[in-house]
Structure 1
């Protein structure tokens, strides 16, 4: 959190999309050719990502939902725009993100002001399950967070305990198609400089999590989607560089973030036209 996510709000606003402030992959298409030809703006591609998640998570609009790792509330904005009757409990360990969401809850012109939204500022591993609610939720969802999960069995057991019978889990995270053992521990990769303690799980490993929940869906999303997302973030970052340097970032900070964008594009998502590293969509159900 301190290294990467709790940076000043104005910095993230300089490069994220303007509609959702989504700090995760946008969706431009299925194949590298479709992705590169797509004429979506970043804002449209983030909207399409959330539409696809809702479709694959089978959201009807009457659910009680727990979101583990909500970022700036980007998914919640999409949810309340399209499914105004859902009830959402959302968690972030980032003070920058939590303060942003709280400010929108106080804004009478924002969706969050009248939405059935409960914000918890904490790490999921520090919250007693009873506080979240045993068998309380129809859906537990997590977008771009499981890269920081150390113990899959423990988190799946927790999510199963929070679900109602026949409830479901939906996950969106960075995965690899081949198995690269060194990427289980980010300290041994270039990515570790930017995500301390992070890891890249193999696509197949997520489907092996069957002890507490039953996998129903596992789809690999070509990494060129993330390459194009980060390339646009990188472009917007440099377009704002004079203002950022004047107010928010030192030269050392600029070097750090420029390297982050470059490493993610070149090391992770560009090789083999997105076939090595991409995102995974997974749906599980509690029997």
Structure 2
């Protein structure tokens, strides 16, 4: 992919800053699970209760390095696409901020280690990412390429869209009201819809004047979606697959919903909660 824009200007660069210690038993459990199983637990972080914490901010604006400029460009393209989508819905889009950090970070959802992977916090409307995750994506999961990296950001922005539209509330309302298995199923539907939204972004981004899809880009995104499916990650980590423990969806499901979003570009086709086919 190529991006010729000026960037979003919505970057909070905390790389190299101390993120403090991990606070709260839930946060510790999430980080330990991430270290043990090497899997993306972003959904768990984004579902944590919001804490009243003092936020430390880093350098604001446009990053000077190539990695920072790349993720800023992807964020800007998602803003352009979703602003138009919300306008079509008769709503106002609120642009998220992206926090770049190293090792550990403080968010309105609590403190988090980079072991949990990129995540979105609904409490402060920010996407958090330690860019070293992209090395893991390439080396551990075999998902190389700049569009695989862009897919990760578009997925997290998809959670922001869900938050703005009130979709994420379905999971919050279910907390403590349904069994763990049923809650996991709802989590899967939320994550697959975020994959659909990532595909929808790619569909419309190709029409932006500052954005250009290149040959192999969509295949890179599908490869990334395949690499981080629950079934594949469980098999790698523990040698067996436990469907009732899925929280993000299988490799096939994640690829299907990203591809559906890309092929249709129609937000009305992404209702994973009522779809008979996941």
- Using structure 1 for the length normalisation, give the TM-score: 0.28
Indicate the structure with greater strand content: 1
Structure with max Cα Rg:
1
Higher helix share: 2
TM-score (norm 2): 0.29
